[in-house]
């Protein structure tokens, strides 16, 4: 019998139980072929169907306009830190890009882009990653090739609840940790990317949604496997793709669809995250989330435990108690400490309630 464990990890993260069961059922014999997806040729008609199904489900779930390509690439989100400038910084002569740096991941992306062109951080530098600087303080460069931001900063729990206005400059977003957690108007973007291992599958595949007119501008030195045009022309099959990860993603996308799509995910994610933030807000400073209310993430809820804004011993006790109750992976990122509860799509309301009940109990015990 399977142990009852509730997984709040930031990624790789929980997958829906029904997806795991289906993958288990099909592991040895996919669709009567007598072999596993793990062994299947990437140019077989069966794998073609898995690719087609994944693309069409993504198109449907996100209402992706016809003039966008959907690519499945490797190299993770970090690969895209390089691929974005390699493909897009040459869109304009100045080879310059605007970056919003609101946490670890956008900081890394900006640093990588500096290898290939000029990077302009559009807002005053932040002392801590706990807010999104007001757009009135941004100086966007009209001759930038693109404007880049990370829609949800996974480590710091900072999420945009608005889409930046760029006055016609191509907008690029890293949605790795809130992809398909809410509806998004793809037509406002030049490019969106997301690693699968948080909301839509397991590690190994990164989804890139890119407007067609942005293809074909890659720098000479762009590695061929990261060249969006090459991959678009070859339906992401320039080389062997991460077949099994794409298959798992197709199952998760079906699960999202049968559970009401991105709008239903948003409703649920609002409910789950409010449940935890409400306890933090009502704890009289026992639980502290340093992030400004307006940009608190619905996906990753970071908080400290203890009156003085974080008490290591108490946090250890909190984690141990959680683990005794079957709740794991709640430790904050090593760079910030404390606790982080990641509430991706597959984390249920009941899972979240278990955490909420425990947080209230722990508060009562230590007040
Ligand atoms: N962007 C975001 C928002 C992330 O959360 C992560 C990983 N946690 C990355 C990029 C990097 O992804 P990868 O580890 O797949 O390279």
Cβ of residue 242 lying under 6 Å from some atom of ligand 1? no
pLDDT < 50 positions in the chain: none
Task: Kindly report the pTM of this predicted structure.
Answer: 0.98
Other C-beta atoms within 10 Å of 358: how many? 18
The whole-number pLDDT of residue 319 equals 98
- ipTM topping 0.90: yes
Give the C-alpha separation, 113 to 148, whole Å: 10
Site to probe by mutation for ligand 1, drawn from 13, 72, 77 as the one with most ligand atoms within 8 Å of Cβ, is 77
For the chain, how many residues are written? 367
Nearest to 73 by CA among 252, 214, 257, 209: 209
Contact 149, 129 (CB under 8 A): no
Q: Apex CA 149: angle with CA 344 and CA 110, to 5°?
A: 115
Contact 100, 164 (CB under 8 A): yes
**Annotated active-site residue in 92, 198, 272, 331:** 198
Give the C-alpha separation, 88 to 205, whole Å: 21
Contact 321, 31 (CB under 8 A): no
Q: Measured in angstroms, how far is the CA atom of residue 120 from the centroid of ligand 1?
A: 22
Q: Is 198 a catalytic residue?
A: yes
Q: How many CA atoms lie within 13 A of 350 on its CB side?
A: 3
The whole-number pLDDT of residue 308 equals 78
The whole-number pLDDT of residue 83 equals 98
């Amino acid at each position: 019998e399977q142990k009852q464990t509730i997984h709040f990890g930031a990624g790789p993260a929980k997958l829906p139980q029904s997806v795991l069961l289906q993958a288990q059922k099909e592991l040895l014999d996919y669709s009567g072929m007598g072999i596993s997806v793990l062994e299947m040729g990437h140019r077989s008609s069966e794998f073609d169907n898995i690719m087609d199904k994944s693309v069409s489900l993504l198109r449907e779930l996100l209402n992706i306009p016809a003039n966008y390509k959907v690519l499945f690439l490797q190299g993770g989100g970090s690969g895209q830190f390089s691929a974005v400038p390699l493909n897009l910084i040459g869109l304009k002569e100045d080879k310059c890009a605007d970056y919003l740096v609101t946490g670890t991941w956008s900081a890394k992306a900006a640093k990588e882009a500096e290898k290939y062109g000029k990077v302009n951080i559009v807002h005053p530098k932040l002392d801590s990653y706990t807010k999104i600087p007001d757009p009135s303080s941004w100086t966007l460069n009209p001759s930038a090739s693109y404007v880049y931001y990370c829609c949800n900063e996974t480590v710091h729990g900072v999420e945009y609840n608005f889409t930046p206005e760029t006055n016609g400059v191509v907008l690029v977003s890293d949605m790795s940790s809130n992809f398909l957690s809410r509806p998004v108007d793809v037509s406002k973007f030049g490019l969106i990317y997301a690693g699968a291992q948080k909301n839509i599958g397991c590690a190994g595949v990164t989804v890139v949604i890119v407007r067609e007119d942005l293809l074909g501008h890659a720098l000479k030195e762009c590695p061929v496997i990261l060249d969006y045009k090459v991959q678009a022309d070859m339906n992401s099959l320039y080389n062997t793709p991460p077949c099994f990860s794409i298959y798992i993603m197709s199952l998760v996308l079906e699960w999202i669809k049968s559970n009401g799509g991105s709008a239903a995910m948003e409703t649920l994610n609002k409910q789950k995250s409010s449940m935890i933030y409400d306890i933090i807000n009502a704890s009289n400073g026992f639980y502290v989330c340093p992030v400004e209310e307006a940009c608190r993430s619905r996906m990753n809820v970071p908080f400290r435990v203890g009156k003085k804004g974080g008490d290591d011993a108490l946090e250890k006790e909190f984690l141990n108690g959680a683990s005794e109750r079957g709740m794991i992976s709640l430790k904050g990122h090593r760079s910030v400490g404390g606790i982080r509860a990641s509430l991706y799509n597959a984390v249920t309301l009941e899972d979240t309630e278990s955490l909420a009940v425990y947080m209230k109990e722990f508060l009562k015990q230590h007040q």
